[in-house]
Amino acid sequence: MFFIKRLRQAALGLAGLFSVPFGKKIEKSFSKIIDDKPTVYDDKIDQFYNETFIGGFTHRHFDGSHTPILMWEKVKDALPNDTNLDEFRNYILSLSKDLQTSMGIPLININDKESYDKFAEYMNSHFAVKKSWLLDIQSVNLAEIFGATLGVLSLFFGWKKNEKEEFANHASSLILAGAVSANPILLIVSLISWAKSYTKNKNKKDFKEGTIKGFLGMGSFIMSASLFASPLLGIIIGLIVLIVVKKKLKEIEVSQIYDWFKDQIKKHGKTLAAMGGGAGIAVMMGVV
Domain boundary among 99, 116, 133: 116
On whether residue 97 sits in a domain, the answer given is yes
Task: Say yes or no: 209 and 150 in one domain.
Answer: yes
Query: Cβ neighbours of residue 49 under 8 Å, at least 6 residues apart?
Result: 55, 59, 63, 65
Q: Tell me the pLDDT band of 269, cut-offs 50, 70 and 90.
A: low
How many domains does the chain fold into?
A: 2
Task: Say yes or no: 95 and 173 in one domain.
Answer: no
Residue 287 host element (H or E): helix 277-287
Q: Residue 109 has what pLDDT?
A: 96
Q: Tell me the pLDDT band of 134, cut-offs 50, 70 and 90.
A: very high
On whether residue 255 sits in a domain, the answer given is yes
On whether residue 170 sits in a domain, the answer given is yes
pLDDT in tens, 15-35: 999 999 888 888 888 877 888
pLDDT in tens, 46-75: 999 999 998 899 999 999 999 999 999 999
- The 3-state DSSP composition of the chain as helix, strand, coil percent (nearest 5) reads 75, 0, 25
On whether residue 136 sits in a domain, the answer given is no
Q: Tell me the pLDDT band of 276, cut-offs 50, 70 and 90.
A: very low
Query: Cβ neighbours of residue 168 under 8 Å, at least 6 residues apart?
Result: 194, 197, 198, 201, 206, 207, 208, 209, 210, 211, 214
Q: Residue 281 has what pLDDT?
A: 45
Q: Residue 278 has what pLDDT?
A: 43
What is the span of the domain harbouring residue 53?
40-116
Task: Say yes or no: 146 and 266 in one domain.
Answer: yes
Task: Say yes or no: 146 and 272 in one domain.
Answer: yes
On whether residue 96 sits in a domain, the answer given is yes
On whether residue 176 sits in a domain, the answer given is yes
Task: Say yes or no: 107 and 149 in one domain.
Answer: no
Task: Say yes or no: 52 and 180 in one domain.
Answer: no
Residue 25, CA distances (Å) to 20, 28, 191 in order: 10, 5, 26
Region 201-220: mean pLDDT is 86
- For residue 284, pLDDT beyond 50: no
On whether residue 49 sits in a domain, the answer given is yes
Task: Say yes or no: 14 and 155 in one domain.
Answer: yes
Q: Residue 261 has what pLDDT?
A: 64
Task: Say yes or no: 84 and 147 in one domain.
Answer: no
Task: Say yes or no: 62 and 183 in one domain.
Answer: no
Task: Say yes or no: 259 and 151 in one domain.
Answer: yes
Q: Residue 214 has what pLDDT?
A: 93
Least confident window among 36-40, 85-89, 106-110:
36-40
Task: Say yes or no: 23 and 159 in one domain.
Answer: yes
On whether residue 48 sits in a domain, the answer given is yes
Task: Say yes or no: 257 and 145 in one domain.
Answer: yes
